[in-house]
A and B are shown apart, each in its own frame.
Chain A
């Protein structure tokens, strides 16, 4: 069985400081992993995805994530937070057949 655990339900950072959103996964197969962002009253937008190519994946808006098989992790980072980054972020696993398993979400708050 597959699962995704987002280790923090809420993360608060100051504008201009680094962002780290943590994600661990469990999968019987080689997974594809995604990060989606959800702004208030909006749908989900893809930030980046890992599909067994390069382990360091760059996404939109300066975000990146590193796939670490030995640690079963796929943490999302950004060097410098912006106010517009405040949103909820979902780590998502795709095992096979395009069936997605979502983490519980991490709400990112950015303080001025």
Chain B
């Protein structure tokens, strides 16, 4: 089984709808992240969480919110989806805080906002 899973894998929604993307991990890591990927821009950080009680905004948090329900679960919500939020979304996890730890990525959720 995959260490980092994301649901759904694909989602089509309409402008103004609220949607939630979910991430679960079995690696036992404290740190979890949400990124979005747009062509030519690499991945950009939306939110990150260093433990259940620690949530932080990333580079592009506007229009998004997150919830860390447990060490293993980290959800991303779009309160009112808009077309420019169409992207590929990745969840990632890591252990420790030295700055050298590898981040492990889920398979991604492809979101289309009409």
A: residues with CB less than 8 A from B are 4, 9, 32, 34, 36, 41-46, 49, 51, 90, 94-100, 102-105
Contacts and interface: CB of A to CB of B under 8 A. Distances in A.
A4 B44 CA distance: 12
Contacts of B100: 32, 49, 51, 94
Given A42-B107, A43-B4, A43-B90, A102 B44 contact: yes
Contacts of A43: 4, 90, 105-108
Contact of B45 (A34, A42, A100): A100
Please provide the 6 A-B residue pairs with the shortest distance between their CB atoms, ordered closest to farther: A102-B42, A43-B105, A44-B105, A51-B100, A43-B107, A102-B43
B42 A104 contact: yes
A64 B92 CA distance: 24
A44 B45 CA distance: 15
Interface residues of B, number: 24
Contact of A90 (B31, B42, B96, B97): B42
A32 B97 CA distance: 13
Contact of A32 (B45, B90, B99): B99
Interface in B19-47: 31, 40-45
Nearest to A101: B42
Contacts of B97: 97-98
23 contacts: A32-B99, A32-B100, A41-B107, A42-B108, A43-B105, A43-B107, A43-B108, A44-B43, A45-B105, A46-B104, A90-B42, A94-B100, A95-B99, A97-B99, A98-B94, A98-B96, A98-B99, A98-B101, A99-B48, A104-B40, A104-B41, A104-B42, A105-B40
